Amino acid sequence: MTHSNDAVQMEQRWTNARLATMADDGLGLIDNGVVIAKAGRIVYAGPAEGAPPAATAFIDCEGRLITPGLIDCHTHLVHGGNRANEWAMRLEGATYEEIARAGGGIVSTMRATREASEDALVASALPRLDALIAEGVTTIEIKSGYGLSTDDELKMLNAARALGEHRNIRVEPTFLGAHALPPEYKGDSDGYIDLVCKEMIPAAAPLATAVDAFCEGIGFSPDQCTRVIETAKAHGLAVKLHAEQLSALHGSALAALHGALSADHLEHATDDDVRAMAAAGTVAVLLPGAYYFMRETKLPPVDAMRRHGTRIALATDNNPGTSPTTSLLLMLNMGATLFGLTVVEALRGVTVNAAAALGLSNEIGALEAGKACDLAIWNVTDPAELVYRIGFNPLHQRIKDGQ
């Protein structure tokens, strides 16, 4: 998206605001705060009495709360079709296996994604993206993983990048070719990982910023994921891992061993896994939407994460099969009600810690001089309201790169 150069070069100033800067380990609240930006970057965020003299007109926020723009750090936003009918079948008693045998499950999404053009994928993803933008999201990660062939995975990555041109949002594309085994490789998961490593990752490297894999019994083994991780790093790409969602394969410790940005899901992570993640700086991305939608009962080990100092992020995991949500605000509430996160943990989980999960801590996630001026201005003064309410969007204004 293009913007006027003159507009971005001017100083912009938001005054009479309550700031949640995300400084230190808390929310970094500042009453009567000011945010000043120039050329799309924050030059000052702090108390009014310490602000430099105004050079231009200012925006009076009338006491509203300003947080960093929200960050959805784990989504599968680009895909063909939906699985509402399968959901209805499950409600009527069909098992996941029965649906899969009837051609449903991830194979149905793969088929719909392969049949869709890049333009069609963009068009279908835009309403989902717009819903997130309307809640103050300024950065989103979008994974591939439903094409499961080289051409279709590249099509998905190109569609993800195109979304960032259609809307004023930062898009971080992640290659997830090792998401599931396509039917043409049935019984030959090693052969498919060969394809992922030898052909897909080299082709995806110019389009993606990171590589992910599904380390799970119904996905790929730790050894296979290690191959994917090592190949990704050899091509200069960051790594992350779907881990410990359904069983304890210690994929999160594997992710930590390789310096992954994040390990995601983590319901079955052990104390040792969590300790390894903390030591490596690997962020724990919790996905309460999938937990809720799949009616899981095994909670992620949040107490262990607190004890070891593992950073916690929250995301929608937007996808057609297990988390068809487009509300990051709802994830704040679910993270608190289902997983027991505090208001501080939840809000840091969609700002500063989500930025770390994308390797963007120097760019976004906090109201701090030098970072991009990505703001969410809310019609509330108490940060707890953003976590407490359900089905209520108090966004007053969303600012991306100062606009």
Cβ-based neighbours of 123, under 8 Å, separated by 6 or more:
none
DSSP-H helix ranges across 281-382: 288-293, 302-308, 328-337, 343-349, 352-357
| Listed residue (173, 172, 222, 156) closest to 193, CA to CA | 222
Dist. CA 121–CA 152, nearest whole Å: 11
Query: Which residues does the chain have with pLDDT short of 50?
Result: 1-8
| 3-class DSSP state of 292 | helix
Helix (H) or strand (E) holding 265: strand 262-265
- What the chain holds in terms of domains, given with CATH numbers, is 5-68+366-399 (2.30.40.10), 70-357 (3.20.20.140)
Q: What is the reported pLDDT for 7?
A: 45
Cα–Cα distances in Å, from 396 out to 19, 135, 380, 403?
14, 9, 9, 14
- Dihedral sign, Cα of residue 55, residue 58, residue 62, residue 66: negative
223/251 Cα distance (integer angstroms): 10
The reported pLDDT for the residue numbered 388 is: 98
Could you tell me the pTM of the whole model? 0.96
Distance from the Cα of residue 107 to its chain's centroid: 23
Residue 61: phi and psi, rounded to 5, are: -85, 0
Three-state helix/strand/coil letters over 139-176: EEEEECCCCCCHHHHHHHHHHHHHHHHHCCCEEEEEEE
Would you state the pLDDT for residue 248?
96
Q: What is the pLDDT of residue 105?
A: 84
